[in-house]
Amino acid sequence: MTPPSAPAAPPVAPGHGAGPGGAERVRAARRSRGRRARVVSWSLGALVLVLFVVTLCVGTFQVSVVDAFRIIGGAQIQGATFVVWDLRLPRALTAVGVGAAFGLSGAIFQTLVRNPLASPDIIGITSGASAAAVVAITMFGLNPALAAPVAFAGALVTATLIYTLAWRGAVSGYRLVLVGIGMAAVLNAVVSYAMTRAEVTDAAEALVWLTGSLNASTWSRLPGLFLPLAVLLPAALVLARPLRGLQLGDDLAAGLGVRTERSKVVLIVVAVGLAAIATAAAGPVAFVAFVSGPIARRLARGSGLALVPAALVGASVVLAADFVGAQLLGGVRMPVGIITGVVGAPFLLWLLAQSNRTGRGG
């Protein structure tokens, strides 16, 4: 008597399993994500360009788009050349550079720590820059025009302290966030003390380091922003590969060949540098670093790290906020940091509510 034969395996549909069809499906999904990332990046780039042109043309002194491009090309138009070339163009370029730096810095921190709260304006990096500048101006009589290098140094020192205090054989994301929030509270207290002890004139000069403003944007200050960006932006894109591994967790990243601690240190240095030069150029423009990454990731759903979209979102947010503060508030020119704060604070509350609703709020 012959034993009953085993039931035949069901036929595998084409394109399923680990065979060639499955590999082709994976490649198709990757191509689709790549296309979406490119479409999002080009769309955001177009938005930045539109906002840039609007910033140059619209205001108390109206300039046509054609005349604006002619002036950029070197043409001399009475009245318009001074307004566009000397006043509006440096401000718009500063807005783009500052927004891109903040947006990219926030995206790197949030991805590295795997926590949307881990942006440089939440964990104290920009607070360190502000505190250094305010103390130097109000308590040591530093010329406000020389405060940018001091702010840069303050951000780097603060980041070093946060990293050192968070280190316990390795750097935990939650520990870094908690230490950073505590450090920000201490630095805000230092700023408050310095402001209460300051002369009225010094306090007025120090206000830009509390709110963030593009009012001091000039051609002479642009090299201090764009020369470091020329180094840090490509470095951030080169570091995207180890960052992609680190977002999976240290163990998986190490299994993929990523040197976790060294990569973390380098990524933190780049992210801190981006936040520091942006703060040195325009002060601590609130919430730009915080909102840029989440917005970019939602736009580029499933398209990887979204570093380029995050930088473009940051540039768009600063350009739009500066335009609103300058043109749409009934003649009162508000600093860009106030506008971004008004928008960013509800976003923070919404994010915390979402975290609590999904059981991740702690």
List the CATH number of the domain containing 299. 1.10.3470.10
* Per-residue pLDDT band at 42 (split at 50, 70, 90): very high
Mean pLDDT value of segment 336-358: 77
DSSP letters for 249-315 = -HHHHHHTT--HHHHHHHHHHHHHHHHHHHHHHH---TTHHHHHHHHHHHHTTTSTT-HHHHHHHHH
14 assigned to some structural domain: no
- Of 242, 268, 257, nearest to 108 (Cα)? 268
Residues linked to residue 171 through DSSP beta bridges, in sequence order = 167
146 assigned to some structural domain: yes
- Which class for 200: exposed (0-12), middle (13-18), buried (19 or more C-beta within 10 A)? exposed
Q: What pLDDT, on the 0 to 100 scale, is given for residue 231?
A: 94
* Per-residue pLDDT band at 30 (split at 50, 70, 90): low
Q: What pLDDT, on the 0 to 100 scale, is given for residue 107?
A: 93
93 assigned to some structural domain: yes
131 assigned to some structural domain: yes
Give the separation between CA 144 and CA 207, rounded to whole angstroms. Answer: 11
316 assigned to some structural domain: yes
10 assigned to some structural domain: no
Flag whether pLDDT at 5 surpasses 80: no
Q: Which amino acid is located at 19 in the chain?
A: G
* Per-residue pLDDT band at 1 (split at 50, 70, 90): very low
Q: What pLDDT, on the 0 to 100 scale, is given for residue 92?
A: 95
Domain count, the chain: 1
DSSP type of residue 167: B
16 assigned to some structural domain: no
Backbone angles phi, psi at 300, to 5 degrees: -105, 50
Give the separation between CA 198 and CA 139, rounded to whole angstroms. Answer: 7
Q: What pLDDT, on the 0 to 100 scale, is given for residue 286?
A: 87
Q: What pLDDT, on the 0 to 100 scale, is given for residue 45?
A: 95
CA quadruple 133, 233, 261, 361: dihedral, nearest 10 = 70
In 93-106, which positions are buried (b, 16+ CB within 10 angstroms) versus exposed (e)?
Answer: bbbbbbbbbbbbbb
In Å, what is the CA distance from 210 to each residue of 5, 83, 226, 244?
79, 28, 23, 34
* Per-residue pLDDT band at 355 (split at 50, 70, 90): low
The whole-chain average pLDDT of the chain stands at 83
Give the separation between CA 335 and CA 14, rounded to whole angstroms. Answer: 60
Give residue 228's domain range.
Answer: 43-357
Q: What pLDDT, on the 0 to 100 scale, is given for residue 356?
A: 56
Dihedral sign of CA atoms 238, 242, 245, 248 in order: negative
How many of the other CB atoms lie within 10 Å of CB of 256?
14
Contact 92, 58 (CB under 8 A): no
Give the separation between CA 194 and CA 209, rounded to whole angstroms. Answer: 12
Q: What pLDDT, on the 0 to 100 scale, is given for residue 94?
A: 96
Weakest-pLDDT range from 75-84, 220-229, 238-247: 238-247
DSSP letters for 129-161 = HHHHHHHHHHHH---GGGHHHHHHHHHHHHHHH
User: 182 by DSSP, 3-state: which?
Assistant: helix
Give the separation between CA 5 and CA 44, rounded to whole angstroms. Answer: 62
